[in-house]
Structure 1
Amino acid sequence: MDAPADLVGRTHRALRAVAVHEPGGATTTAVAREAGLPRPTVHRLLMSLQGVGLVERESDRWVLGPELYFLGVAAARRYDVTEAALPVVRRLALATGESAFFSARRGEETICLIREDGAFPLRSHVLFEGARFPLGVVSAGMVVLAHLPDREVEEYLGRVDLSSFGPQHDVAEVRRHIAATRMNGYAVNPGLVVEGSWGLAAAVFDQGGAPRWALTLTGVAHRFGGERIPQLGALLLREAHVLSEKLGRG
């Protein structure tokens, strides 16, 4: 029989796996694969979650249930900062023509909360609302990691293996990107996750000076050449400063 902590952890992994496949939903097999759990275990968990409205069954697929929405509305009173961030993200998309994003740090991940597409028709699809990546992966994760204290960075890099995202994410490469990010103030992802899909990000800080969020611009590689990277980086830094001030006052 699962210990309580283990059961909670497995339940969380199953719910996150369902969320990855929204809005279309996922089969039990797909949830099990995403969560890294045995299919029978996932089936039992999902049936229990269905009983309390945390998931629902639509045909042969599982989707997030209404109870999660009600819980989210209650939690938003404490955690939602998207109302303040949305105008900033829209300004970035309008000014650059690229896709603009707002992501939040949660533990050792960044989660994309807002996406606004600019006018340029070719777009990167690496980031989307709800997408999660480990710190150090995609430009949002890199800029948050780079602005953490050295001790936290070293502990994190000694504990995780990011090479599942490719050899370009081995420890030496991540350290190189941290150094470049600290020098520039913003992070650059030169197609490290998906070839040809570039991203830039600037950190947004809380009242205590910790990197809690990130603003990102993404697009196809030829839109991020030459002098445009420092121009976009400077714009991101200005908007990130504005948002940090606004959230710090809140």
Structure 2
Amino acid sequence: MVKPKRSESEPRTTDFVESLDRGLRLLQVFGERSSPMRLSEIAALAGLPRATARRILFTLQHGGYVSSDGKLFAPTPRVLTLAVAYLRSNQMVAVLQPVLDKIASAAHEISSLAVLDGDEVVFIARGSPTRIFTGGVDIGYRLPAFCTAVGRVLLGRLGDAELRARLSAMKREALTPQTVTDPKRLLSAITADRGRGYSLVDREAEPHFRSIAVPVKRYDGIIVAAINIGTHVDRISTDEMQERFLPLLREQAGKVMATLL
């Protein structure tokens, strides 16, 4: 019997580069602190032995991705080239950026584009009515999916059984007094949002912030992202968000469906 030839794109156990995996994990921990860190802190956050973290840091420093004064380590601007590579190659960002700008201009509020990454959402683009980014979430900002409007829209693409299992397994910490953490209530909320085609989350992710989001679908109807409008609770009511912002979001999301592959 002739053994089928392995495709070059098919991964093998020996293809996994553990040192690269550790290096990427170490780079990610810099996003958990807003100031330079000591070697011991970095090693602990990355879950790596101190000696391993030290070698990786010196390798990254040699490549220009990390700087150090001998005691403290911090990422350099070169790290941004990794994010730029994603943003430049991502079709959704190119297609949706003009849409976000239109939404923000019409609503006079910030509009954002988010995708699901594990149990979190990551914001990959946004539009501002003034083009001055003084509020709202930054590009690359992460939040738990279960308590955000964009997250619930994205989780809604899962089948009921998979969604139930996902909610039960994920970490669900209350971020505000209003955060819903019970998996049964979340399942009910997300399935209801799926049925009506949008999600509105009020003060569950941040204490003074509410957001309304709709799915972004590609040409075949598969949900690939979510767009939202978020605002301070003192400025816009939930009723106004549904009356003013929901039709705008739905209209703009519908326009890009045929162009997303």
| TM value normalised by structure 2 | 0.75
**Cα separation, 1, equivalents of 2:202 and 2:76:** 34
* 1:85-119 deviation digits (Å, cap 9, x = unpaired): 11100011111111111112334432111122235
Counterpart in the other structure of 1:187: 199
**CA spacing shift, 1:169–1:233, aligned 2, 3 Å:** farther
1:61 Cα deviation from its structure 2 partner: 4.2
Counterpart contact for 2:219–2:259, Cα < 8 Å: no
Tell me how far apart the structure 1 counterparts of residues 76 and 214 of structure 2 sit (CA, whole Å).
31
Specify every segment of 5 or more residues in structure 2 that has no aligned partner in the other structure, as ranges.
1-15
Asked whether the equivalents of residues 29 and 46 of structure 2 are also in contact (C-alpha less than 8 Å), the reply is no
Please state whether the residue corresponding to 2:116 is helix, strand or coil.
strand
Are 1:186 and 1:203, in contact at CA under 8 Å, matched by a contact in 2? yes
Of 210, 214, 223, the residue aligned with 1:198 is 210
TM-score (norm 1): 0.78
**Which of 105, 129, 146 is equivalent to 2:116?**
105
Q: Give me the whole-angstrom Cα distance separating, in 2, the residues matched to 1:29 and 1:240.
A: 45
The residue correspondences of 1:11-90 to structure 2 (distance < 5 A) are 11-19=23-31, 26-28=36-38, 32=42, 35=45, 37=47, 40=50, 41-53=52-64, 55-57=65-67, 59=69, 60-64=72-76, 66=78, 69=81, 78-90=89-101
The alpha-carbon deviation at position 39 of structure 1 amounts to: 7.8
- Judging by fraction of residues, say which structure has more helix: 1
Match of 1:173 in 2: 185
Structure with the greater alpha carbon radius of gyration? 2
- Mapped to 1, the partners of 2:49 and 2:126 lie a distance apart of 33
Change (3 A) 1:58 1:160: same
Q: How far, CA to CA, are the matches of 1:35 and 1:95 in structure 2?
A: 42
AA of the residue aligned to 1:236 = L
Deviates most, 157-166 or 29-38: 29-38
Distance 2:217 2:45 in 1: 31
Measured after TM superposition, the shift of residue 18 of structure 1 is 2.2
Counterpart residue number, 1:238:
251
The CA RMSD over aligned residues, in Å, is: 3.2
User: 1:145: Cα distance to partner?
Assistant: 0.4
Which residue of the other structure, out of 111, 125, 133, is the alignment partner of 1:114? 125
Question: Cα distance 1:118–1:170, how it changes in 2: closer, same or farther (>3 A)?
Answer: farther
How many aligned positions are there?
238
Q: Equivalent pairs: percent with the same residue?
A: 20
Q: Secondary structure at the match of 1:222?
A: coil
1:48-100 deviation digits (Å, cap 9, x = unpaired): 222334x221654411453761x556656653431211110001111111111
Superimposed CA distance per residue, residues 9-39 of structure 1 (whole angstroms, 9 cap, x where no aligned partner): 4433322222455xx7632469638945368
Where does residue 213 of structure 1 map in the other structure? 225
Equivalent residues in 2 for 1:122-161, closer than 5 Å: 125=136, 127-161=137-171
> CA 1:208–1:26 in 2, change beyond 3 Å: closer, same or farther?
farther
User: Counterpart amino acid of 1:94?
Assistant: S
Distance in 2 separating the partners of 1:79 and 1:38: 32
Structure 1 residue identity aligned to 2:151: G
Offset from partner CA, 1:109-141 (integer Å, 9 cap, x none): 32111122235x9x863x221012333232111
Letter in 2 for 1:135: A
